[in-house]
Amino acid sequence: MTRPLKTWLLVSGITLVLLGACGAALYRYGSQSTFAPGVTIAGWRVGGMTYETFQSQLTQRLKQLSAFPVVLQTSYADVPTRKLPLGQLGVHYDQAMLTQSMAQWTSRSLYTRIKARWTLRNVAIPLPVSVDPDQLNATVKTSWKELYAKQPIAAKRVLKAKDQITYESEQNVLRIDTAHLQEQLLTMAPTLGTVTHAAQIGISLPIYEMSPSVTVASLRQQGITGKMAEFTTTFPLSGEGRVHNIKATATTIQDYLMAPNDTFDYAKIIAQTEAKFGYKEAPVILNGTLVPGIGGGICQVSSTLYNAVLRSGLEIVERRNHSLPVSYVPLGQDATFANGYINFKFRNNTSSYVWIRTMTTDGAVTVKLFGHPNPSITYDIDSTVVETIQPPVKYVNNPNLPPGLERPISSGKAGYKVETYRTKRENGTIVSKELISKDQYSPVPTMIAANRGDAKPQDSAPKQPIVEDGVSAFSAQ
């Protein structure tokens, strides 16, 4: 064998030996079941610790973290100190990053294990902390239930004597700022490395005052400074049902608040009143005739409100007069209602809110409108009868009467055509005159009984029943 060949074989052998020794060393290095030196996990020094021991102790430490006591205290007498476990406060430790690292150390691939032990030596692996806000809020409300049982009380606008507007202040309540508390918990939450050394942590509860949605400031911002207009109508010797209907409807309107550009809808008031109080029996108008019914009197409230609206300068959106004259307001100044046919609406055309107040007795109803009146502006309402319509005569055939003999049944009543104007004055000087309405009230015919062979039968075709000043008529049911 030549010398070069011997040399090559010797070198190759040494190389194989060295490679074998290196491979064995790498195998032993990657097969270790302990953490590399210098590794810490969430402040816990685990270098040299076996994976099995780590998993066992990790479970125990996570349980300790969940049960770790937190003392929550304040200087407020109404907010007592509580000691609660960290887990109950919604604090959770995310093991996703730790699980990912452990998968590299315990991989089936020798190469992956070797790489992990080498690249993750002396590494500090964090354990992210999070707080479940829903769980934190639930725990806080349960732990301080007496505190959360107290609710803020809204401010009130109060009407004093001589229509003076004053306010009752709102009442605030204490609440725990859970968003700030969550930040404190994230900052102060113990780690795996400190859980066995600290007995507890203390946190000063962040407290704030919770105000109601309605405050004196928010009420003042509505711009209501004084009375715009008021109007009163009377209803002497009215039946119990009519009085109830008027009072119930006026109660629904009480404290009604209209923002700028809001439209008042009387049909909604009637529906709310019927649902809350119910309406009682009282005369209503059915197709121009006074008959027994339910809800009689509701148009006295709408007419009273209508007159206050006219005198405040607000915009009339929808309004109709009664088919028959009513006694409690002048002709041309009434506002009737027939469900599904006739409504009363007006709009707040001012830049401030409008506040409606009502007052009823057994003989009168008053409506007051408050807003931001201009003392130099006033309104006059004038209604003029432009035509009187004489009542027609209607004959009712009575064959029991002698031919040519007539007997009066009832006297007729005249009808009217009326025009109503609203005059605006500034410091007493007329600045505008507005035609508000042209109304017509039907005459009531004079009814006469007679035996007339030439009398033609009256048209008996039924009319569509329209009930005014009520919600239903007995004869329409």
Report the alpha-carbon distance of residue 39 to residue 55 in Å, rounded.
15
Report the alpha-carbon distance of residue 463 to residue 287 in Å, rounded.
8
Confidence at residue 477, expressed as pLDDT on a 0 to 100 scale: 42
Query: To which residue do tokens 């009712």 refer?
Result: 396
* Contacts with 40 (C-beta within 8 Å, 6 or more apart), sequence order: 46, 47, 123, 124, 125, 193
Weakest mean pLDDT among 9-13, 248-252, 330-334: 9-13
- 301 has pLDDT over 50: yes
Ramachandran region, residue 26 (left: φ > 0; alpha: ψ -120 to 50; beta: rest): alpha
pLDDT digits (tens, 9 = 90+) for 134-181: 999 999 999 999 999 999 999 999 999 999 999 999 999 999 999 999
3-state secondary structure 92-115: EECCHHHHHHHHHHCCCCHHHHHH
Nearest Cα to Cα of residue 300 among 320, 279, 327: 327
Ramachandran region, residue 426 (left: φ > 0; alpha: ψ -120 to 50; beta: rest): beta
* Contacts with 107 (C-beta within 8 Å, 6 or more apart), sequence order: 113, 116
Confidence at residue 191, expressed as pLDDT on a 0 to 100 scale: 86
Give the pLDDT band (50/70/90) at residue 463: low
- 8 has pLDDT over 60: no
pLDDT digits (tens, 9 = 90+) for 360-404: 998 999 999 999 999 999 999 999 999 999 999 888 888 877 887
Overall size of the chain counted in residues = 477
Give the pLDDT band (50/70/90) at residue 457: low
Neighbours of 174 (CB within 10 A): 16
pLDDT digits (tens, 9 = 90+) for 107-119: 778 888 788 778 8
